[in-house]
Every structure is written in C-alpha cells, then in structure tokens.
Amino acid sequence: MAHTSMKISSTIVAAMAAAVLLVPTALPAADTPPKQTNSAKVGKILKDVQEDIKNKKYSDAITKLKDADGTAGKTPYDQHAINDMLGFCYAHTSDYTGAAKAWEAELDDGFTTATDQNQRIRALSVLYYQLKNYDKAIEFGQRALKGGFGDAETSKLIGQAYYLKGDWKDTLKFEEGLVDASIKAGSNPSNESLQLVLSACVKLEDTVCQTKTLEKLVTYYPKPEYWQNLLFSLMKETANSDSNTLQAYRLMSEVDVLKSADDFIEMAQLAMDAGSPGEAQKALQRGFDKNVFADQRNKDKAQRLLEKAKTKAANDQPTLDKISKEADAAPTGTKNAAMGLAYLGYGQYDKAVDQYAKAVTKGGLKSPAETQLMLGIANLKAGHKEEAVKAFKAVKGDPILERLDSLWILRARQA
C-alpha cells in the first residue's frame, strides 16, 4: 500500500496568518503576563516590518527581522515579537524550516496566548510532516490531541507519520485506537485508518492481524477487492478439506470474486463430487459468461465438465420429489441434507430450506456444522435474511466453517 505525503494545509497557514500580531500588543488572555512593549530600537524595526508585511514584501521583512534579532539588548518580548513575525513571513515564502523554527521558539516563551499556542502546535505538526521530520510531526500532533484541540486531520497526519518513518508497531497501535474508538462511538472507522492498519499488519507479517483487518474492511467497506483478499487468505486454510474449499468457493461466488479459470473448474468439480451437478453447471456457465476460459485447454476441460453436469442434472431432477419423500421417512437427517444440496443447486431454494431444516432437526449428520451453514445459505438464497442470520449463528464445531459463517452473516446484512 503506497502513501503520499500530505500537502501543507492551506487552512492552517491561513489561520496562522490571521493570528499573527503584526504589532504586538497587550495579550488578552487572563492567564498571560500584563501588557508588554518592545524596546525602542527593536520597536522601530518592527514598525517597518509591519509595512513590509502589509505590502507583502516578505523577503524584505525577513531581512529586517534578522537585523532586529541581532540587536544588542533586545528584551524577551522583543524576541517573541521577532519570532512571531518571522514565522508568518517564512510561511508566506514557503520556507517551512524557518517557519517551524520561529514558531517553536515562541511556543513556551510566556508571551503566547493559549489560543495562539494551540494554532502554533497544530501548524508545527503539519510543517514538520511536510519537512519529513516525522518524529517532530508526531510530537506536536500528539500534543494537540492530548490538549484537546487536535482534529481528524491531526490524527490522520500522526498515523501516516508513524507509517512513513517505518514504525509499524506504533502505526498499528495508533490506528487501531482510532478504529476501536470509532466503532465504540457507533460510527464507521475510516477506510484510510483500516488501510494503514492492514499495511502495518503486512509489514509485521502478522497474518492473524491481516485477516481481522480484512474482516473489518468487508464489514464497513464491502468492496470486491477486500472480499477477494480476505477469501484468498481463507482458501489457504481449507487446502486439506475439499468440503471446506467448496464452502469457501460458494462465498467467493456469492460476492462475485471468483476470477480464474482454475477456480471455476475446481469449484464445479468439487460440486460434482459432492453430488450437486446443478451447482457445478451454474459455476461453469458463469465462467463462460465471464469469458474466463481464454486458454483453449481450460475451455475444453470446462466444456467437458459442463456437459457432464448437464447430463447428470437432467437425469437427477425428475427423481427429486420422490427421493425427498424417502429422505423424509429416514430416521436421520443425512438424506435430507443431500436433498437440500440438490434443491439448492437447482435453484429451488424454499425446498432446500425445508430439507436442510429437517436434517438439522433429525440430526445424525456427518457434519452438523456444514449442514447448519448450508441451511443459512439456502435461507439467504430464498430471501429469508433473518432466518439465514439465525442459522449462520448456530454454526459450531469447525473453526473454518465458523469463520465462514461470520462472513456469510456480513454478506446477509449487506444484501
């Protein structure tokens, strides 16, 4: 994930410009020192500087301010006024190093009001970020947040500064804090925060962290690429189970992230092996519709498998209702589950729901968790969203299927 530097904030500079005292006067805040005046020699220079600033002759003003800075016998308040104006002039000549130095020097000099301090601190965070001094950017950004006068842009800057300085652990800690705070407040975490968290997880080679973050991304920003990345990582964990691999493919198909010819062919073959030729036929037909079988070898293979699925489906469908009655009479739910799969593959979703519900009720199943998951899928396909979520929540006993059911719940709520 690439990140570009934030540009200097024009609003910050504008705010700073408005706050600069062209002729330093008594400070209004109750907790500040009493009225201060400049020494005669420096005051005369500053009066000329004021005219230069008024006429936007910032370079001339800077030259005079440097002369004032070298004046013997200048008072602490003279120094404050010089730094105040230097910061303003440097900012308007794009000399951000000079502006940062001047504003930082006046921060705690005893003459800067609390309001002006807050503006300076925020501006310094932006300036140091622009200068790629990320430690200083973070220092002043955190100071703004802790003082209660930081904003969303301040938080954004801090997180990016941590990332750009290569501090992945603090990037993760800071951005996860923002994400958790947003969720706790009942609002969506920002996509940018989640992306920074994900990038930090990748840099730290923390696969669990990556998966958790991808789950948050598909929760709040269900883009196909987020689903694809999440399910691609999940597929690696299903390698030792054909049934779990097929379940992962089902969700990939549902969220439309099946891309390669191999995926469509493998899903179809697994569906055929599981006894769902209707599902295999749909998967292959979808692959052909998407023109994924560009390679002639894959195209021929897919075509042969498609013909096989069509033949099997044509033979099976006339017998379904008869076999379903036999399944209903069976003491366990195994045959009902098989019938549920068949009906689901042929798009007869309400009948699939009925058969899977009977299978769950009867029990005696080889994989109760898988049957429960399929009951949820059938309900969702039938348009029974609440029942689907209820069924998904009841999936227990298989860690992979439990993860899949949580993702199906997300899908159901987004549908």
- For 297-307, the pLDDT digits (tens) are 999 999 999 99
Q: What is the pLDDT of residue 242?
A: 94
The verdict on residue 325 lying in a domain is: yes
- Would you call 67 exposed, middle or buried from its count of C-beta atoms within 10 A (0-12, 13-18, 19+)? middle
Same domain, 117 and 81: yes
- What's 325's domain CATH number? 1.25.40
Same domain, 270 and 390: yes
**pLDDT under 50 in the chain at which residues?**
1-32, 34
CB 214 within 8 A of CB 191: no
Same domain, 269 and 384: yes
Same domain, 181 and 122: no
CB 369 within 8 A of CB 396: yes
pTM (predicted TM-score): 0.79
The verdict on residue 368 lying in a domain is: yes
Count the domains in the chain: 3
Same domain, 264 and 175: no
Same domain, 215 and 348: no
Same domain, 347 and 216: no
- CA dist 211 and 234 (Å) reads 8
The verdict on residue 241 lying in a domain is: yes
Same domain, 245 and 353: yes
Last residue of a domain, one of 133, 159, 194: 133
- CA dist 287 and 282 (Å) reads 9
The verdict on residue 159 lying in a domain is: no
Q: What is the pLDDT of residue 148?
A: 96
Same domain, 259 and 345: yes
Q: What is the pLDDT of residue 27?
A: 33
Integer CA distances (angstroms), 92 to 56, 87, 358, 365, 369, in order: 9, 9, 76, 75, 66
Q: What is the pLDDT of residue 41?
A: 93
The verdict on residue 252 lying in a domain is: yes
Q: What is the pLDDT of residue 280?
A: 98
CB 74 within 8 A of CB 115: no
Q: What is the pLDDT of residue 35?
A: 60
Over residues 326-347, the pLDDT tens digits come to 999 999 999 999 999 999 999 9
Range of the domain at 196: 168-221
The verdict on residue 199 lying in a domain is: yes
